[in-house]
Structure 1
C-alpha cells in the first residue's frame, strides 16, 4: 500500500488494511491493532479540515464525547491522537447494518422487535446524557445493529456534532444548525446552542414513529416547509398510517412531539416503559381504560420554550451515490435525503423511501419559524381600548399628547 500521511501516523500501532469510506470531514479505514491483535476502525480527519482550528476542535470533541460514555449500547472509542498533523480516532469494529438500511429493506419493524431495539436505544441515550453529552444527530444511520449471542444489539455511533451539556458551545456559529433536519426538535431548529438532552429524545421518537409506521412524521418539499411542520408539531396520526397499531399509540406520540420539552417524556426509560405498556394492550376492542390519554404535565409546570434565534438563508445539502457495504464504517460514509421526499435527481441513485440520514449544517430562513404563541387577541383588545380613549379625548375637545398621557400628574400643585 502506498505510504500516506495517515499510514505514517499510525503504522507504529495499527496496520491499515483498506479504506472503507468517508464522511463529512473524516476518512474511515479498516485497521488492525498490532499489539492487541484485533480489528479496529480508524477515522482520520480530512486534509481540508486539518487546517481549520474549529474543525479540528470538533473532531477532538467527537473523540472525547464518545470516550466519556460507558455503555454496551454505544460504540467504544479506543484511542485518539495527532501525529504529524494528522488527527485520528480509533473505534471498535462492528459487523451488521445500520437501522436506516434495515428500514429501507423491511419498511416497517414488528412491534416486538421495535420494543427490543428502542429499549436499548433508550438505555444508550440515558447513558449518554448521564455522561453530560448531548448527541444532537440521532437518526437511523447513526444507530447500528450488530449481533450478540444471536440477538440484535444496538450501538449508537457518530458523536461528530455532540456537545457537553455543562459547557457553552463555542464551536457552533450563530445561525448554524447542526444535525439532520428531519429528526431535529423544534428547539434545535430555532436555538441550536440552547438544546438539552430532551432534543435527543425527540429524535428517538421520530425514529420510532418511522420504524412502526413506515413513514417519518415530519416531511416537506424543502427545508423551510419541513421545519415549519416540525415547529408546528404537525404530523399524521400513527393509527392512520398503520391501523393495526394498538390503542393509545396516538396519545403516546402526541406527548413525544409536544412543542414544550417539559411536556415530553424526560428519559429514554420513561418513554419506552410507556411504549411497552401500550404494545402489551390486547388486540380486542379497546375499553375506556385503554383509551385514556397518556398524562401530560399541566401548563403551570411547563417551562417556556427557547426563544427564536436570528437566522438567514437556506443552504441546500449535497447528494452522492452510496456504496452498499454492511459494515459500521460504510454507513457513516453514506449520505441520503435530508428533507422529506426524494428529488428527481435522487430517484436515480436510491429508492424513494430513502430517508435523511446525512448530518448537515444548514442555516434556516426565519420566515419558516412559527409565530410566537402569545394571546394576540388580548393585545388587539388593548390597542382598541387605547384608540377609544384617544378618540374620546378629541371628541370632547381636550388636548391630548403622548407626553400628557404618560405624565397625567405633570401639572402638580
Structure 2
C-alpha cells in the first residue's frame, strides 16, 4: 500500500509527465519510495547510493538523517524538490520523507558548444543526441510543475522516441490535442526532420517548414514561454519548435541581452537583409535591361560603361552569378572545415575577379551578388536563409520580363504566399500565439 503522500504526489504528476518515476526499494525489510524525474535524476546511481547509506544506518529514520537535513517536509516542498531535480524518498507509511540533494544526473558530460548558432552574451550550452539529456536541460532551467512532457514511440521498422514539451495553461489546448493526435498517428519511419515535418500537413512544393530548429536551450525555453510546443527526436541535437513562425528569422532571445534600441536595430537590419535577398538581383536586372530610364543620366552612363563588352544579357549574367554563388555556399557547407576556407577563397575572390576580367559579368553585378550573400546570412536560422534564397528566383524571372512592375508583383505574390501558409490553423505570418484562455 502506498502512503497518502505518495498518492498525492503521483496524482500531481501522473498525466503529461512521462519522465516521472516512483520506484520501490527494500531497505532493512522496509519499503521506501524513490521519486523524481529520470531526465534529472540518475536512478541507478541513486539506488546504489541509498543502499550503501542503508548499510551504515540502524533504521530508516537514521538513513534519512544520513542522507540529508531536509527531513519530513510538507508535500509542496517535496514537489518543489522534485521539480528542482532532486531525489525524494518517502517511507512506506508516509510519515517520514527526505529530499536528497546530491543525487542528480550529470547533464553537462555530453553537452558541447553550438555549431550552427552563435549566442551572444548568453549560455553556450547546446543540445546533444540523447533525448533525456535534452529534456533534462529544459527541466533544469524551467523548474515548474506547468512544464508537461509527453513521449511517443513511432516508426514501423525503426522505432524512434519523440518527446513533446509544453507549458500547461499557456499553450492552447486545441494545438496540444492536434499535435498529440498527429504524433500518435505516425505509422512510417521517421529518419529525418523533414519526415516529422510532413506529419503536420504536406505543403506541396513549399520550402517553408512547419518546424523551427534550434540547438540553444535558452531559445527553446523562450519558445515554450511564447505558448508554443517543443519537440525532441532521439539522435537529433536540435529542439524542434512548433509551429514555425516568420518572427523566428527576425528576432531571437539573444536580442534581449541588449538595450531596446540596439535590439530594435538588429531586427530592423534583418528585415532589410530579408528584403534585399529577395529583390536586389531582380532590381539589378529590371533597372539595367528593362527600365534603364529610371536612372539619372550620369548614373545610367556609369551602369552602361560597367557592362561594356559583356556578351551576356543582364538576366543571363545575373542568373549565372546567383546560381554559382549558391553552389559555392552549398559546397562550403558540405566540405570539411579544413577545405571550406580554401573553396571560399577560390570561389568568392579568384573566380569572381577572373569573371570580371574576362568580361563575363560586370563589376556592379559582383557588388550586388556580394550584398545578397551577406544579406541572406543576416536572418536567423540556416533553413530560413535557404528558403529566402530560393524565393528570389521567381522574382528575378518576373523582373526580366516586366521590369520594375515584375519586381513589385513578385514581391507582393511572395508576401501573399507566405501569408497563406498555416500550421494546424496557426498562420505562418503570426507574430504571437495567444495564451490559452486569452481573449482575442
With structure 2 as the length reference, what TM-score do the two structures score? 0.28
Which is higher, the Rg of structure 1 or of structure 2?
A: 2
